[in-house]
């Protein structure tokens, strides 16, 4: 076992006390169970880089699920969700903090030839399956070894030298999505991709290895990339290596595409600044930007390649057409009143609206969409169905146009009070007298 230097101090100083206490407890539980417990992956990498990261991944040499159960029992209100098939568990704390637990099983390898069967350390094999050396570090958490940095593959040197390196020559062949991960990490940390690794990566791109990868996995990595703080940087790198075309021959990041991405970044930071409650998928706004220069047919094919199927795929394809129609209407200058803006935009998702803001060159259009997002979409008619019944209207198909008219009037600020609204309704939708009423009137007269 390669027990290197101690990073215990770093661990205790950089992580919140609550997390340190949980990790210490994890080590104690492991030691009592006779199992080795390690903190692994991104959290260790980011600890050495002094970056904030509370994605805690533990690997247990032993039985992950029973370990997780025992650890959870130490904390009030703590639950676990185990996946027997994979030997993994998520420990969910009362305050929503969570920890992922995986099992590194003890397996015995038969050596080729006459050599005896040997037991390799299972943590080593677990770490060897990872993508880059910087992600292969582990920190022992057991009572007597807490804080020992375990570095089988030179990860801490590569982090120090700020280099991304694969563990072996088949890394990209085994899993081409690592190409996207290399690009993402390289731009996030400002790390260079090692020379040999870069050659392997370029060869993998040339060999069209992406073609063998399931769309869902590619999309997953693309989403991670688009959710980076500044996606322009990995996207530019990606383009430099010819990755877009390797993902799908129609994908083509032109300077205009990059401008659109930049403008999307601006719009999304405006959106974030608004602190609206709506949850949006920011990746899909970027996705619309990256595919804006494609024909409808190519867009459909790209969407299929990334397995964006079902409702979402159909929805993206149809909204893309609606965007063009709406922008054309705005460009003709015929959409002015708030109620007109509302009726053009009402069926579009927030992601599409934000994309439109990024795409349009007209300041008026951008303002109109932002007004819609901030105000218009919340406007309600001043009266409800109940009010209409109280006013003497019979519930029926007439209610929809009345309420629509009222909403338009509120949007355009033509009515400001409930009594103005009532007057408007009575004027536009006079109540028809019933036959019986008319009879009475004619008799009387």
Tokens found for residue 411: 């949007």
Residue 41 CB, nearest approach to ligand ATP (Å): 4
Between the alpha carbon of residue 255 and those of residues 36, 70, 161, 236, 404, the distances in Å are: 52, 55, 32, 10, 44
> For ligand ATP, which residue of 31, 82, 97, 175 counts as binding (CB under 6 A)?
175
In the complex with ligand ATP, the residue whose CB is nearer, 227 or 423, is: 227
Residue 44 CB, nearest approach to ligand ATP (Å): 9
In the complex with ligand ATP, the residue whose CB is nearer, 30 or 41, is: 41
Residue 43 CB, nearest approach to ligand ATP (Å): 7
The span of 128-136, 302-310, 319-327, 357-365 binding ligand ATP (CB under 6 A) equals 128-136
The span of 87-95, 172-180, 304-312, 358-366 binding ligand ATP (CB under 6 A) equals 172-180
Q: Report the number of secondary-structure helices (H) and strands (E) in the chain.
A: 23, 12
Q: Which of residues 36-55 bind ligand ATP (CB under 6 A)?
A: 41-42, 55
> For ligand ATP, which residue of 122, 133, 142, 177 counts as binding (CB under 6 A)?
177
Rounded to whole angstroms, the Cα distance separating 123 from 142 reads: 14
SS3 38: strand
In the complex with ligand ATP, the residue whose CB is nearer, 204 or 406, is: 204
Tokens found for residue 195: 């020379």
**Does the protein bind ligand ATP through residue 186 (CB under 6 A)?**
no
Helical (H) or strand (E) element with 37: strand 36-40
**Does the protein bind ligand ATP through residue 130 (CB under 6 A)?**
yes
Between the alpha carbon of residue 439 and those of residues 50, 162, 375, 430, 432, the distances in Å are: 88, 93, 49, 19, 13
Residue 5 CB, nearest approach to ligand ATP (Å): 21
- How many chain residues touch ligand ATP (CB under 6 A)? 10
The span of 87-95, 127-135, 149-157, 434-442 binding ligand ATP (CB under 6 A) equals 127-135
Other Cβ atoms within 10 Å of 281 Cβ, number? 15
Q: Are 78 and 93 in contact (CB under 8 A)?
A: yes
Q: Which of residues 196-225 bind ligand ATP (CB under 6 A)?
A: none
**Does the protein bind ligand ATP through residue 131 (CB under 6 A)?**
yes
> For ligand ATP, which residue of 14, 165, 178, 305 counts as binding (CB under 6 A)?
178
Residue 130 CB, nearest approach to ligand ATP (Å): 3
In the complex with ligand ATP, the residue whose CB is nearer, 227 or 364, is: 227
In the complex with ligand ATP, the residue whose CB is nearer, 198 or 213, is: 213
Rounded to whole angstroms, the Cα distance separating 165 from 197 reads: 6
Phi and psi, residue 244, nearest 5°: -55, -50
Comparing CA positions, the residue from 105, 68, 98, 61 lying closest to residue 83 is 68
Tokens found for residue 161: 């030298």
Rounded to whole angstroms, the Cα distance separating 183 from 359 reads: 26
SS3 193: strand
Phi and psi, residue 140, nearest 5°: -70, 140
Residue 221 CB, nearest approach to ligand ATP (Å): 8
**Does the protein bind ligand ATP through residue 135 (CB under 6 A)?**
yes
Residue 136 CB, nearest approach to ligand ATP (Å): 7
DSSP codes, 338-351 = HHHHHHHHTTS-HH
**Does the protein bind ligand ATP through residue 352 (CB under 6 A)?**
no
In the complex with ligand ATP, the residue whose CB is nearer, 189 or 241, is: 189
Residue 244 CB, nearest approach to ligand ATP (Å): 19
Residue 228 CB, nearest approach to ligand ATP (Å): 8
The contacts of residue 33 (CB under 8 Å, 6+ apart) are 62, 66, 67, 70
Residue 32 CB, nearest approach to ligand ATP (Å): 27
Sign of CA dihedral 253, 256, 261, 264: negative
In the complex with ligand ATP, the residue whose CB is nearer, 164 or 290, is: 164
Beta bridge partners of 79: 92
SS3 56: strand
In the complex with ligand ATP, the residue whose CB is nearer, 131 or 292, is: 131
CB-closest chain residue to ligand ATP: 42
Question: In terms of DSSP H, where are the helices of 103-176?
Answer: 122-128, 155-160, 171-174
Q: Which residues bind ligand ATP (CB under 6 A)?
A: 41-42, 55, 130-131, 135, 175, 177-178, 181
């Amino acid at each position: 076992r390669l027990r290197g230097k101690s990073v215990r101090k770093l661990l205790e100083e950089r992580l919140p006390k609550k997390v340190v206490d949980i990790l210490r407890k994890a080590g104690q539980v492991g030691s009592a169970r006779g199992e080795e417990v390690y903190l692994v992956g991104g959290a260790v990498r980011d600890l050495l880089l002094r970056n904030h990261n509370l994605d805690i991944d533990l690997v247990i040499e032993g039985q992950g699920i029973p370990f997780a159960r025992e650890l959870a029992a130490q904390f009030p209100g703590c639950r676990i969700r185990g996946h027997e098939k994979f030997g993994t568990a998520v420990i969910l704390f009362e305050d929503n903090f969570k920890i992922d637990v995986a099992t590194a099983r003890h397996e015995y390898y038969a050596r080729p030839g006459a050599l005896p069967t040997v037991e390799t350390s299972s943590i080593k094999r677990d770490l060897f399956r990872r993508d880059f050396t910087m992600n292969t570090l582990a920190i022992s958490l057991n009572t007597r070894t807490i804080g020992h940095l375990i570095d089988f593959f030179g990860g801490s040197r590569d982090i120090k030298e700020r280099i991304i390196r694969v563990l072996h020559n088949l890394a990209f062949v085994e899993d081409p999505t690592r190409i996207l991960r290399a690009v993402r990490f390289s731009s996030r940390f400002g790390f260079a991709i090692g020379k040999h690794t870069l050659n392997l990566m370029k060869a993998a791109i040339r060999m069209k290895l992406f073609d063998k990868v399931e769309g869902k996995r590619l999309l997953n990595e693309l989403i991670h990339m688009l959710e980076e703080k500044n996606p322009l940087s990995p996207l530019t790198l990606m383009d430099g290596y010819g990755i877009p075309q390797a993902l799908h021959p129609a994908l083509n990041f032109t300077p205009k595409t990059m401008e659109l991405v930049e403008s999307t970044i601006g719009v999304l930071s405006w959106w974030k600044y608004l602190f609206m409650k709506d949850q949006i998928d920011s990746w899909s706004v970027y996705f619309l930007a990256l595919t804006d220069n494609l024909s409808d047919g190519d867009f459909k094919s790209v969407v299929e390649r990334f397995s964006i199927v079902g409702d979402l795929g159909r929805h993206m394809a149809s909204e893309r057409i609606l965007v063009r129609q709406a922008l054309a209407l705005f460009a003709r200058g015929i959409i002015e009143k708030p109620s007109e803006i509302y009726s053009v935009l009402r069926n579009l998702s927030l992601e599409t609206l934000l994309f439109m803001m990024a795409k349009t060159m007209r300041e008026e259009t951008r303002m109109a969409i932002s007004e819609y997002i901030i105000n218009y979409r919340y406007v309600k008619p001043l009266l409800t169905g109940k009010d209409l019944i109280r006013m003497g209207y019979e519930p029926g198909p007439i209610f929809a146009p009345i309420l629509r008219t009222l909403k338009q009037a509120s949007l355009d600020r033509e009515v400001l009070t409930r009594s103005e609204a009532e007057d408007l309704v009575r004027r536009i939708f006079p109540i028809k007298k019933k036959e019986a009423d008319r009879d009475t009137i004619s008799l009387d007269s």
